[in-house]
Amino acid sequence: MNIDRGTANLDILATWLINRINLHTKYSIEGEIKRGLRTCITCNAFDNDGETCNKANNQRPPAKVIAYGCQQYDDFDDEIPF
């Protein structure tokens, strides 16, 4: 098969771009999953026994906050904290 220089460069660029898109997609999906796991249940400030939040003066958060988390989520780096 005879491939001219322009075609070879196009193939290399297309392959590189496909790999970058796949890598970006992988990290985007991982990021979304991690954000989805940032709930009260995995937060260090949440007391599971009393279902209260230490950052909110030991008040029970509303159900939506427990389910979806809040802006003051504590300590979820790269791993689930349990």
Split at pLDDT 50, 70, 90, the class of 12 is: confident
Q: Which domain holds residue 69?
A: 38-82
Co-location of 16 and 56 in the same domain = no
Domain count, the chain: 2
pLDDT of residue 78: 43
Please count the other Cβ atoms lying within 10 Å of the Cβ belonging to residue 74: 15
Co-location of 59 and 78 in the same domain = yes
pLDDT at 77 over 70: no
pLDDT at 79 over 90: no
pLDDT at 16 over 70: yes
Co-location of 23 and 62 in the same domain = no
Co-location of 26 and 44 in the same domain = no
> 65 with 40: CB under 8 angstroms?
yes
User: What tokens appear for 11 in the block?
Assistant: 């193939």
Which residue intervals of the chain are DSSP H helices? 5-36, 63-68
Co-location of 45 and 82 in the same domain = yes
pLDDT: which is higher, 32 or 63: 63
Map residue 36 onto helix, strand or coil: helix
Co-location of 26 and 46 in the same domain = no
